[in-house]
Amino acid sequence: GHASAVLIRALEPIRGIAGATNGPGRLCRALGIDRGRNGCDLLGDDLFLAEPGSGEPFEIVARPRIGVDYAGDWAERPLRFYIRGNDFISRR
């Protein structure tokens, strides 16, 4: 199979976003995303999240997903990614 969706659960707002952005519901409200964006091409020009930056280096952490006990063997696979020490993730 091929991946056909990306679930972004949190982001660190840089500018122009008011409100909490940790958790999918709060993130969508802060960005004004609703179901009308379903099927949006993440590589297209319709949705812009950030310019590539040259900020400080960071470490990506890979952990098992949370709350997916029903997923059998997939429940333990490291499919949850975040920046170590970032305060904007939904749960550690």
pLDDT band at 2 (very low <50, low <70, confident <90, very high): confident
Burial of 15: CB neighbours in 10 Å, binned 0-12, 13-18, 19+: exposed
pLDDT category at 3 given cuts 50, 70, 90 is: low
| pTM of the entire predicted model | 0.64
Looking at residue 8, its pLDDT comes to 81
Q: What is the pLDDT of residues 35-79, one digit of tens each?
A: 888 878 877 887 776 666 777 888 999 999 888 999 999 999 998
Domain boundaries, the chain: 1-51, 56-86
Q: pLDDT at position 61, please? A: 93
pLDDT of 77 reads 93
Could you write out the three-class secondary structure of 68-89? CHHHHHHHHCCCEEEECCCCCC
Give pLDDT, residue 60: 93
Cα 90 to chain center, whole Å? 9
